[in-house]
Chains A and B, each alone.
Chain A
């Protein structure tokens, strides 16, 4: 049975060197975060292109979270800075389309920041919950 509270479905692109390890650490530390996120491990957030975010939204994601290393701490020197610019570009494009920019967010964490990562996920889920389901969504779930 579907719960009456809207449960957003959020894709989280997590960098292997920080956020993904941090999510792993959160598990080891028994820190809980909402099950609304679907984590996709990426070698570096610098690998992410605008089209990745666009396809995620086109396929019905309610929100997209990009989690990269702290600025200055990228394993590949500046991949996270590249990601930041691409996220900003995509946000402008979402606004052109008529979608809320807040559905896409980038955060920066280190591999040791399990608690801040969980807090960021909670905050993202609440933000998207307030925005409501993606207007693009077809069947109420990710394809």
Chain B
């Protein structure tokens, strides 16, 4: 899932203070699961903004709404009326959600209430970690299912680097060395020989190259 965290209240107030009526719009998908932008967080951030505005003598009316998914037209439609009756929208969706709302309401200011951080998983209660860099050309099959791009501090395709101690990364001893994990995993699945293949430099043309990426599936188009 996409993992995000909230911006702090003074920054948010600075972003929205020129408006008198604001819709704080939550998203019921990824950001709900990572406890950043669901119904509960909408309620908390809306309360915080109302109070912060009051303390600074800023007139601000805040409405709260959460829809199932901000990156999907079907669900955005459900927020249309609320968006229309407010001057601006503070979206607690991920970056894609914010832009999906902005694109569909051409004259309405839409602001991001969260900092979208990464694609990751819930490691344990209250801890999320990055697992995927969305590079566009997955190499997980070569590394026992552990991504050296997202999880190795140096993004090494031919590791380890020699700086790791025990199973810890030299960049931060709190982090596990991804290459230690790759080694152990390959050993467990009997594929240690994969380490003998020296990988050429990665072709990054599928990643941050040439603007935004699009996937077109003719078989699904109407």
Contact = CB atoms under 8 A, between A and B. Distances in A.
Interface of A: 49-51, 54-55, 57-58, 93, 96-99, 135-136
6 contacts: A54-B47, A54-B48, A57-B51, A96-B10, A97-B55, A136-B54
A98 B55 CA distance: 7
The 10 residue pairs across chains A and B that have the minimum distance between CB atoms: A96-B9, A54-B47, A97-B52, A98-B55, A58-B47, A51-B43, A97-B51, A51-B44, A136-B51, A96-B8
A74 B47 CA distance: 30
The prevalent SS among residues of A at the interface is helix
A7 B43 CA distance: 29
The prevalent SS among residues of B at the interface is helix
A45 to B, nearest CB: 17
A96 B9 CA distance: 6
A136 to B, nearest CB: 5
A98 B54 CA distance: 10
Contacts of B56: 98
A99 B51 contact: yes
Contacts, number: 42
Contacts of A55: 43, 47
Interface of B: 8-10, 40, 43-44, 47-48, 50-52, 54-56
Contacts of B48: 54, 93, 96-97
Nearest to A55: B47
A54 B55 contact: no
B9 A93 contact: yes
Kindly name the residue among B8, B40, B52, B56 whose own CB sees the greatest number of chain A CB atoms within 10 A: B52
A51 B47 contact: yes
A61 B3 CA distance: 34
Contacts of B40: 49-51
Nearest to A138: B54
A33 to B, nearest CB: 28
Contacts of A50: 40, 44
A28 B60 CA distance: 48
A49 B39 CA distance: 13
Contacts of B54: 135-136
A72 to B, nearest CB: 20
A104 to B, nearest CB: 13
B9 A97 contact: yes
Nearest to A136: B51
Contacts of B9: 93, 96-97
Given A51-B43, A98-B55, 18 more contacts: A51-B40, A51-B47, A54-B47, A55-B47, A57-B47, A58-B47, A58-B50, A58-B51, A96-B8, A96-B10, A96-B48, A96-B52, A97-B9, A97-B51, A97-B52, A99-B51, A135-B55, A136-B54
